[in-house]
Structure 1
Amino acid sequence: MQKRERRSFTDEFKQQMVQLYENGKPRADILREYDLSASAFDRWVKQSRTTGSFKEKDNRTEEEKELRALRKEIQRLKMENDILKQAALIFGRN
């Protein structure tokens, strides 16, 4: 089986596909006619129904948002710690 090349779709296209589905067009027909993967299409439908947005950041769970914030904070603290270690070395020489 050949690996499919990754494609990107506009929000307008995604909304049109969801609209076709919600207006009664069978999912299998949409997938076949537009050569879409089931996982991508199902994600679009879910995103459209939950937030109305196709942007990943708008569809993150509270836990995902918290995890991202904590990782960013850890990265900032590590950098701060490295700076303080360097400063301690510099001031320790004097």
Structure 2
Amino acid sequence: MSKKKRRAFTEEQKAEAVKIVRTSGKTVAQVAHEMGLTVSALRNWVKKDENDRNPAPGGPLTTDERAELARLRKELKRVEMERDFLKKAAAFFAKET
């Protein structure tokens, strides 16, 4: 049994599908069926868009917040590596004296 190949969608395609759900008055299931999408994927896109438009304090992260979190985690990893390297270098030179 072979797996189905996972389809990839651009942000523009996702935004267009969400716009259709918001403006047409149709249900998520109807729009998903018409566009050949899975209901769960379209529902997730709609929820993400709603969260980005109206962020709730203490609620799920917005897209911008997720991007910033990823950037900060990457930067933290780099800084920790630099710190560990400097610790080892300081210990090495302390042994020599």
Cα distance 1:28–1:2, how it changes in 2: closer, same or farther (>3 A)? farther
Distance 2:33 2:10 in 1: 19
What residue number does 1:35 align with? 36
Structure-2 change in CA distance of 1:71 and 1:45 (3 Å): same
Does residue 13 in structure 1 map to residue 17 in structure 2?
no
Instruction: Mark the CA change 1:79 to 1:59 in structure 2 (over 3 Å): closer, same or farther.
Output: closer
Task: Give the aligned residue type for 2:38.
Answer: S
TM-score by length of 1: 0.60
Identity, in percent, stands at 29
Q: Which has the higher contact order (CA 8 A, sep 6+)?
A: 1
1:24 paired to 2:30 = no
CA shift, 1:39, in A, is 2.8
* 1:92 and 2:95 correspond: yes
TM-score normalised according to structure 2 size: 0.59
Q: Tell me, in whole angstroms, the C-alpha distance in 2 between the residues paired with 1:4 and 1:59.
A: 32
Q: After TM superposition, what 4+ stretches of structure 1 lie above 6 angstroms from structure 2?
A: none
Q: Does 1:47 align with 2:53?
A: no
Partner in structure 2 of residue 58 of structure 1: 64
- Cα displacement string for residues 20-40 of structure 1 (whole angstroms, at most 9, x for unaligned residues): 212123322322233323332
- CA deviations on 1:19-60 (whole Å, 9 max, x unpaired) are 2212123322322233323332112111222214xxx74264
The amino acid across from 1:11 in the alignment is E
